[in-house]
Structure 1
Amino acid sequence: MRKTVGYISFSTLMFSLMEIALKMAGGAFDPIQLNLIRFAVGGLVLLPIALNSLKKQQRKLNWKDLRLFGITGFICVIISMTLYQLAIVYSPAATVAVLFSCNPVFALIFSYLILHERLGRANLISVVVSVIGLLVIVNPAHLTNVVGLTLGVTSALTFGLYSIISRYGSQKRDLNGIVMTCFTFLTGTVELLAIVLLTHVSAIGRSMGQVSYLKQFVNIPVFENISWQYLPLLFFIGVCVTGGGFAFYFLAMETSDVSTASLVFFIKPALAPVLAALILSEQITLPTIIGIVIILMGSVITFIGNRSKSIRSEMGQPVYPEKEDQTDSNDLIGKVESFNSSVEDED
């Protein structure tokens, strides 16, 4: 139990410091460059753990696995995390942290739409409550930062999509979370590097330069400003936050269960704004505070619902009692009708 608490505490702290560290590094590095560096380092940190896990499974990766990593890497690293990194540029770190923490809500919606998984009552309530919290923070009637908020919400939405595809793929290919995450990071890094190198091609650069919103992506740097001066910050972002945060999150999952480990994402919306105010001197507005409280309520509802399902599953009880009761009733009615039919035949 002590190990689990330690894993969750470290992972929560690292994930809560993520936006703050990236905001601090934003002045020295290009957003896409920073995205490339942190996932390359994070993937390499997770690699020994992932390889050890594969060795225990006596499992070797094949082309179908790499194809899956190509899809998850593209959605996670290139789309979601690029949007996330840009959101940090245009918005306060605390706001991005809260918005991104809503990605489990979008994951629930995608699990229903794509995997046709049944949403329990607690999950439905959590989705509604969390959306209300998001609307309070975004405040559609008085939008002042449309670009930043759009990037933050879209990042959370696409990360929720990545989570569902990753979970479906891992079950289909028999790969655990640490392996999926590690090779998603590494494959996504290779894909992002290929795109970055394409921006250095003269013809492509000229074409991008003619489009106003693409000018900033011409000649994206790869190694610029990587010096001893910024090495401690890059080490913290790559090794501690990205690699260490995910590693300890999965260790918590191994020593407890998914619902307990998910406390990391439930605590982050409350802790990250406080840390941003202390470290970056960011002001937390009243609507943001109210929105955070509402989202935390939604998170608590989700945690209670997941915990309840986990306990019922461990005890061999139906995950959705109301559905099971209905099934039992239908079975009983069927048996009665069958019995009456047999009596009528005898007569």
Structure 2
Amino acid sequence: MKKTALFIGLSTVFFSLMEITLKSAGNAFNPIQINWIRFSIGGIVLLPFAIRSLRIQGQMLHWRDLKLFALTGFTCLVVSMTLFQLSISYTQASTVAVVFSANPVFALIFSYLILHERLGRANFLAVIISIIGLLVIVNPANLTDPVGLTLAITSAMTFGLYSIISRYGSVHRGYNGIVMTCFTFLVGAVELFVLIEITNIPTIAHAMKSVGWLSQFSAIPLFNNVNMHFFWMLFFVGVCVTGGGFAFYFLAMERSNVSTASLVFFIKPGLAPIFAALLIGDKIVLTTIIGIVIIIFGSVVTFMGNRRREGTHAKMGAD
């Protein structure tokens, strides 16, 4: 139990510092470039754990799995994480951290719409509570940062969609979370690499540069500012956050259960804004504090509902 608590603690701290670390890099890295760097590193860090898991389960990857990982990699890295990185450049890291932590709520909605899974009373209540929390943080009546918040919410929504696609693939292919995540990262990084190379084709680069909002996606660099000055930042987001954070999360899941491990995402909305205020001076306004409390309450409802459902399944299995 002590090791489980340690794994959850480390994963929570790493994930809570993610937005702050990326924000501190400023404009040194292109959003797609930093995603390619950190998920390439994260996938490599997870690879030994994934190989070990495959050997223990007596499984092998097949070429047909490439389509699955291409889909999860595209949804997670190319779409969700690009939107996530862009949102950090437009709004406060603490706001992005809280909004993105609501991605399990969107996953519940997609599981109902796509997988036709029953949305229990606890989960339905959690969805309502979390949406209210998001509305309090966004504050539509006095919206001063529509772009950043829209990007953050869309990132959380698409990450929730990725979670459902990944779960669907996991059930049908029999791969556990760490295998799905590792190869999602690696294949998604290849997709990002191809996308980066396409933006460096002169005609495409010129066309994108002529469109204002697309200019930052013109001629995306691969290794610009990858030097000793940013070494520790890249090491932290690649090895500690993207690789270690997920590794510790899945290790906690192996030693306990999904609900216990998911405490990581329930604690983050409260912890990340505190880190942001202490480390980079983010201001936490009253509406944000209220929204955080509401979202955490919604997360607790989700947690209790999941624990109750797992307990019911375990009892039925024992019977």
Same fold (TM over 0.5): yes
Deviations 1:87-119 (A, max 9, x none): 000010000000000000000000000000001
For 2:243, the equivalent position in structure 1 comes to 243
Asked if the contact 2:30–2:216 (Cα under 8 Å) also holds between the matched residues in 1, the reply is no
For 2:97, the equivalent position in structure 1 comes to 97
For 1:344, the equivalent position in structure 2 comes to none
Paired residue secondary structure (1:316): helix
Tell me by how many angstroms 1:317 deviates. Answer: 7.5
Alignment of 1:122-201 (within 5 A): 122-201=122-201
Deviations 1:200-257 (A, max 9, x none): 1011112212222111111111011111121111101100011000000000000000
Give the partner amino acid of 2:33: Q
- After the TM superposition, which segments of 4 or more aligned residues of structure 1 sit over 4 Å from their partners? none
CA distance in 1, matches of 2:57, 2:131: 40
1:83 aligned onto 2:83 = yes
Identity %: 63
Q: TM-score, normalised by structure 2?
A: 0.98
CA distance in 2, matches of 1:166, 1:175: 10
Give the partner amino acid of 1:58: G
For 1:113, the equivalent position in structure 2 comes to 113
Highest Rg: 1 or 2? 1
Give the partner amino acid of 1:135: L
Give the gaps of 5 or more residues in structure 2. Answer: none
CA distance in 2, matches of 1:188, 1:18: 19
Paired residue secondary structure (1:214): helix
301 and 317 in structure 1: CA distance in 2 versus 1, 3 angstrom threshold = farther
Aligned length: 318
For 1:206, the equivalent position in structure 2 comes to 206
CA distance in 2, matches of 1:46, 1:277: 31
For 2:60, the equivalent position in structure 1 comes to 60
Paired residue secondary structure (2:316): coil
CA distance in 2, matches of 1:137, 1:41: 33
Paired residue secondary structure (1:63): coil
For 2:270, the equivalent position in structure 1 comes to 270
Q: TM-score, normalised by structure 1?
A: 0.90
Tell me by how many angstroms 1:185 deviates. Answer: 0.3
Tell me by how many angstroms 1:57 deviates. Answer: 1.7
Give the gaps of 5 or more residues in structure 1. Answer: 319-347
Tell me by how many angstroms 1:28 deviates. Answer: 2.0
Give the partner amino acid of 1:147: V
